[in-house]
A and B are shown apart, each in its own frame.
Chain A
């Protein structure tokens, strides 16, 4: 056991003053200390993507980071995505296209794909599949997720125009 250290975490625009052991994973601290349980843990070794959060605006696996490493950075979790109660383009499209079943992989997919679409507004199906390949889903076979992302992209393009 190592000594706990005080840290300040900025999550979803809010400051959390915490006392954490340096070995504790960001995923655990978000879930247990900040009470943000929408970030899920599926493997703890960086493969499944369920724990994806935004780290200074870019997708990152919170199971591969220590909480202490997040000091001075801006962390965004799924809880901030539909903060005003309105679903994001990706969330809304996943709902309409039945792109989720058990929902366990879903927050990681929403976070990953919202960020990706912002930089890739006009993706082909193959590009969507490639971008999605870092998120494992055991339920859906991906078909409807891919369809949803395409739909979300089209909608974002439409509303931007």
Chain B
């Protein structure tokens, strides 16, 4: 690529967005000043499951500063319910009112909304709302949800089993009959939540004169949000603008249109006054969105060398009370890509999803987080059973470069991945032999070290074809535009929205690289649906590949137009011997690149302001709009190694070392990629060791503050060594693959594997998360 090579694609440029954040000039939702805005506050259910007998809002309406108090009754007139009924086999259609009128389904379920002059007054008035409940038997877990005669979380369904899919490839039954051994393993991942440091919030402004709604909201997906918002308010999409300011972390929590946000928008319209809402931390932990909580069992048929002949997976997810997403969406992906880097042809899965009286689930950084742990844990179970080295069992089953592209048993095609290379490189970098010697010596002294290994194949960028094949509703395309303005200044936009990923820098590098301008001079505009093109937004690990690619293509189209204009101005028949370098047009003469005297700004001036000099038939202006649908799926891969020390007396776990070797294709900015890797790994580590949403037997949530829901601090997270071994994807325009979630998958698997390695002398295996000291001690009871 030409031009500003040291600042182009791949350069580890410090971020353009940093200055405003470092100096307190970021603009997050609460920093957006809207004169005269009223404040909303929600009254929430204290019960896990209860019939709403009546709501008396009379006293609250009379409280000081209160402008309105509404319940589900008003919202049912102002909005339409959310119907979740994609045509997916085995998935039950469900419908959700904007605010419930019949019953509440979890602690924190919103039942009324107060609008007052300020937030303090709204909270005061909430105390005056009298809700009469008739408690119902709660459904606190999957076992009870699926028991015969269980109370129904959603009374329109025949059972709490909201989704069930099964699949078979090959002939697993036959392979099991032929096997030298059949090994079983089980895995339980607990409930967690995204906990961005900025909670949810929004501010709705209804312009009655124009009949137009503007919703300021930190949203990862401004356009899909606009579509849903307009539909549910019965407005045309042209009557709604969604503007996302800076977002203080999303991690998947800021995708859906939540009931509170829709309520606030409906209230602004009904009251004809701006209304804003900011949830507090307790609400965020209790009632925003939860994630994970799945249990899996594998059965695997192997030959004497540990070669996998067939694999079966059963996975059950506790989805909580409401479906903001198709219930099959998260667990289904786990089953689709479970086999990852391994050679498996005979495979069967069953994926069940149950409703319970908990906050509803949604995708959280690595919706398929448990995948690598299940697969790697299964490999380790094979090694334990057959008395083999777990590294050897991995090598035996791992795909070789010569076997790629490889069709996984689910039909997904794995290509341009390097699992063996990252595994071998990681083992060498870690000094496996040296570690084993240290481990032996230390064991003799009562220090229990373990080495964890996790080989990750991360599904990164979902193309439309994957969604279709997986039976998930959605499109995988992304859209972008690039404009060179009359002065030569460059603006660009894409449908994604950043919440820390540094798009303003990385995408400026992409556009700058193609147009040979300094990325500092390329402005990336995000988050405003009136400016940005309709894209599917930021989710999964699609930013770099879906967003980076579409801007790359748009910039290329624009560069071609620039060079075509230059050729005409220079009196050449073609632009074949022209290029852009440092925002100037150069021409190859006798093998040498020489200046033509034309700059990008000269061309821009002609394109906009002197269009009669353009080649015949060419339209004035310099802008390119593109949409891009990525391949069905791109995959990144990595090997994570983690050294843990388990204190067998206290059950405490300390991480002594963490190393990852990654291949995520062409990277746009290595510094940003490494930062994403760190953050994902930390989220995985914190999830395994500390974080837990705890519900008791009655469905009460016991983790409503940061004193109970523990996020990892700088003390628990070890230094993280990241080694890059990138190889390009041959099917994406820049060679990028995408990344940002695999770190969570790898950390979960690597920490579990390390702790189990440390516990091996005691003959016990940890099969549950979180790895709390009491849990580890319970495994060791009577053995230490």
Contacts and interface: CB of A to CB of B under 8 A. Distances in A.
Interface of A: 1, 21, 23-24, 31, 36-45, 47-48, 50, 77-79, 81-82, 87, 91, 94-96, 98, 100-107, 110, 125, 128-130, 132-146
B14 A96 contact: yes
A137 B675 CA distance: 13
Contact of B26 (A95, A104, A110, A125): A104
A45 B18 contact: no
Nearest to B674: A98
A94 B197 CA distance: 18
Given A47-B707, A48-B197, A143-B678, A138 B251 contact: yes
A100 B706 CA distance: 21
A141 B722 CA distance: 13
Contacts of B26: 38, 103-104, 106
B711 interface: yes
Interface string B608-624: 00000000000000000
Interface in B670-702: 671-672, 674-676, 678-683
A31 to B, nearest CB: 7
**Top-5 shortest CB links A-B:** A38-B24, A103-B21, A104-B248, A141-B682, A101-B500
Interface stretch (B154-162, B322-330, B713-721): B713-721
Contacts of B680: 141
B767 interface: no
B interface majority secondary structure: loop
B149 to A, nearest CB: 41
Contact of B248 (A37, A103, A129): A103
15 contacts: A1-B65, A1-B120, A21-B120, A24-B120, A36-B24, A37-B31, A38-B26, A78-B23, A98-B14, A101-B501, A106-B22, A130-B714, A132-B713, A140-B675, A143-B678
A105 B679 CA distance: 14
B19 to A, nearest CB: 7
Given A39-B24, A96-B14, A133-B713, 18 more contacts: A23-B120, A31-B31, A43-B281, A81-B23, A82-B22, A87-B23, A101-B500, A101-B675, A101-B679, A103-B246, A104-B248, A110-B22, A125-B719, A135-B714, A136-B711, A136-B713, A138-B197, A143-B717
Interface in B177-196: 195-196
B301 to A, nearest CB: 39
A102 B706 contact: no
Contacts of A110: 22
A101 B124 CA distance: 36
A49 B705 CA distance: 14
Q: Which of A110, A139, A146: most chain B Cβ within 10 A?
A: A139
Given A31-B30, A103-B246, A47 B22 contact: no
B90 interface: no
Contacts of A104: 26, 28, 196-198, 248-249
Contacts of A129: 713-715
B714 A142 contact: yes
A38 B30 CA distance: 10
Contacts of A145: 714
Interface in B638-683: 671-672, 674-676, 678-683
Contacts of A141: 678-683, 717, 720
Q: Which of B28, B247, B674: most chain A Cβ within 10 A?
A: B28
B22 A98 contact: no
Nearest to B671: A98
A41 B711 contact: no
A94 B21 CA distance: 11
Given A24-B120, A105-B197, A44 B678 contact: no
A25 B89 CA distance: 52
Contact of A137 (B30, B197, B676, B705): B197
Given A40-B28, A82-B22, A103 B17 contact: yes
B263 to A, nearest CB: 22
Contact of A45 (B64, B197, B705, B720): B705
Interface of B: 14-15, 17-28, 30-31, 64-65, 120-121, 124, 195-199, 246-249, 251, 280-281, 499-502, 671-672, 674-676, 678-683, 705-707, 711, 713-715, 717, 719-720
Contacts of A105: 197
Contact of B21 (A24, A31, A37, A100): A100
A40 to B, nearest CB: 7
A136 B281 contact: no
B22 A95 contact: yes
A1 B120 CA distance: 8
B197 A50 contact: yes
A35 B678 CA distance: 34
A144 B717 CA distance: 12
A146 B714 CA distance: 8
A130 B711 CA distance: 15
A140 B705 contact: no
A40 B27 CA distance: 11
A40 B25 contact: no
A107 B24 contact: yes
Contacts of B719: 125, 143, 146
A4 B281 CA distance: 26
Contacts of B64: 1
A81 to B, nearest CB: 7
Contacts of A102: 21, 196-198, 246-249, 499-500
A1 B502 CA distance: 43
B249 to A, nearest CB: 5
A127 to B, nearest CB: 11
Q: Which of A48, A104, A128, A146: most chain B Cβ within 10 A?
A: A104
A140 B706 contact: no
A45 B24 contact: no
Contacts of A134: 713
A100 B24 contact: no
A140 B281 CA distance: 20
Nearest to A41: B30
Nearest to A87: B22
Contacts of A31: 30-31
Contact of A138 (B24, B28, B711): B711
Contacts of B120: 1, 21, 23-24
B193 to A, nearest CB: 11
A94 B18 contact: yes
A28 B421 CA distance: 53
B14 A138 contact: no
A95 to B, nearest CB: 5
B281 A38 contact: no
A28 B502 CA distance: 29
A42 B14 contact: no
A44 B717 contact: no
Contacts of B65: 1
Contacts of A79: 23-24
